[in-house]
C-alpha cells in the first residue's frame, strides 16, 4: 500500500520505514467490502516509544483513514516496541452525526420523526445533517442517483451510517452506496456497484467443500456505535410542577 507516514491530529508526522530512528511497518492489511468494513491494520516495530491518538490518520489511494480506538502497544525488550494501530475509512465518520429533521440551513428540532421521501430526498437530508457538523466535507452525487418511489420511514436517534444502510437494504430501496474522496471532499453515490459472483461449474448456489466455491464464511456487522461527543437537548411538553424541589 506504500504507507510512508502517519499524520497526527496536531499536524506532526511519524515517518515510517526508516533506519534511524528504526521504525518499520512489519505488515499492513486492508479489509474492505461494499457497504461493509473499510479499515487498515498496521503492525509497526520501532526502537522509540510512539504515541498514537484518536484522529491520527494515513492517506491511502486518496482516502483518509483515521484511528478511532486505543492502539495496542507492546514492549518486547530494550529499544524494541510494537504497535498495532487500526485506521478506519471515511464511512465510519458517518457514525458521528445524528440523522435529524434537518433543512438545508442546518436547522432541526427533533431526532424522532417520519419522512415520506424518495431515496434521493432522504440522502439530501443526510447531507444537510453532515454539512451542519462538517461544512464542505460531504457531497451527494444527485445527478446519478436512481429515481425511486417515495416511502415512509421512521427515524429515532439513528446516526447517518445506520440511516444509509437502512435506506439501501432490500426491504427499502434495495440499492447500494459508495463513498469516493477527491480534493478533501467525500461524495456519497447511490446505485448498483457490486459485481455478481457466480458459483463454479454453473451451480445455482455455493456449497462448502473443495471445488464448490465456499471455503470460509464470516458474517460481521459494521461497528455503527460512536463515542458521544455531542449532546442534543430537546424540550418536553409538560411544565415542571410548582412544588418541584419544595420551592
Tell me the pLDDT band of 143, cut-offs 50, 70 and 90: very high
C-alpha to C-alpha distance for 115 and 192, rounded to whole angstroms:
24
Tell me the pLDDT band of 234, cut-offs 50, 70 and 90: low
Peptide bond just before 21 cis, omega within 30 deg: yes
Which phi and psi (to 5°) does residue 126 adopt?
A: -60, -45
Q: Is the pLDDT of residue 85 over 90?
A: yes
Between 119-133 and 160-168, two packed helices, what is the crossing angle to 10 degrees? Answer: 170
C-alpha to C-alpha distance for 190 and 178, rounded to whole angstroms:
7
Tell me the pLDDT band of 193, cut-offs 50, 70 and 90: confident
pLDDT value, residue 212 = 59
Residue where the block lists cell 460481521: 220
Compute CA distances 230 → 106, 206, 213, whole Å: 15, 45, 46
CA 4 to centroid of chain Cα atoms = 23
**Which secondary-structure segment (H or E) carries 88?**
strand 86-88
C-alpha to C-alpha distance for 98 and 227, rounded to whole angstroms:
12
Which of the two residues, 202 and 118, has the higher pLDDT score?
Answer: 118
Segment 46-65 mean pLDDT:
95
Whole-angstrom Cα Rg for the chain: 23
pLDDT in tens, 122-134: 999 999 999 999 9
- What torsion, rounded to 10 degrees, do the Cα atoms 23, 29, 32, 38 define? -40
Q: Is the pLDDT of residue 221 over 60?
A: no
- Which of 17-31, 140-154, 204-218 comes out lowest in average pLDDT? 204-218
Q: Is the pLDDT of residue 217 over 70?
A: no
Amino acid at each position: 500500500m506504500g504507507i510512508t507516514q502517519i499524520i497526527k491530529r496536531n499536524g506532526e508526522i511519524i515517518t515510517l520505514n526508516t533506519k534511524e530512528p528504526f521504525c518499520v511497518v512489519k505488515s499492513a492489511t486492508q479489509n474492505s467490502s461494499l457497504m461493509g468494513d473499510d479499515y487498515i491494520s498496521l503492525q509497526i516495530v520501532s526502537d522509540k516509544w510512539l504515541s498514537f491518538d484518536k484522529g491520527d490518520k494515513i492517506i491511502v489511494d486518496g482516502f483518509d483513514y483515521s484511528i478511532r480506538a486505543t492502539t495496542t502497544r507492546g514492549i518486547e525488550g530494550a529499544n524494541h516496541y510494537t504497535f498495532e494501530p487500526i485506521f478506519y475509512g471515511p464511512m465510519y465518520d458517518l457514525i458521528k452525526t445524528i440523522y435529524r429533521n434537518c433543512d438545508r440551513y442546518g436547522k432541526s428540532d427533533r431526532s424522532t420523526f417520519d419522512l415520506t421521501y424518495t431515496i434521493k430526498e432522504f440522502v439530501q437530508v443526510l447531507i444537510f445533517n453532515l454539512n451542519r457538523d462538517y461544512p464542505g466535507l460531504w457531497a451527494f452525487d444527485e445527478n446519478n442517483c436512481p429515481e425511486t418511489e417515495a416511502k415512509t420511514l421512521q427515524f429515532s436517534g439513528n446516526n447517518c451510517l445506520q440511516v444509509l444502510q437502512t435506506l439501501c437494504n432490500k426491504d427499502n430501496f434495495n440499492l447500494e452506496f459508495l463513498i469516493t474522496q477527491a480534493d478533501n471532499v467525500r461524495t456519497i453515490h447511490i446505485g448498483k456497484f457490486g459485481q455478481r459472483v457466480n458459483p463454479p461449474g454453473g451451480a445455482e448456489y455455493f456449497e462448502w467443500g473443495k471445488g464448490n466455491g465456499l471455503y470460509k464464511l464470516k458474517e460481521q456487522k459494521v461497528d455503527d456505535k460512536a463515542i458521544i461527543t455531542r449532546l442534543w437537548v430537546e424540550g418536553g411538553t409538560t411544565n415542571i410542577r410548582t412544588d418541584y424541589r419544595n420551592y
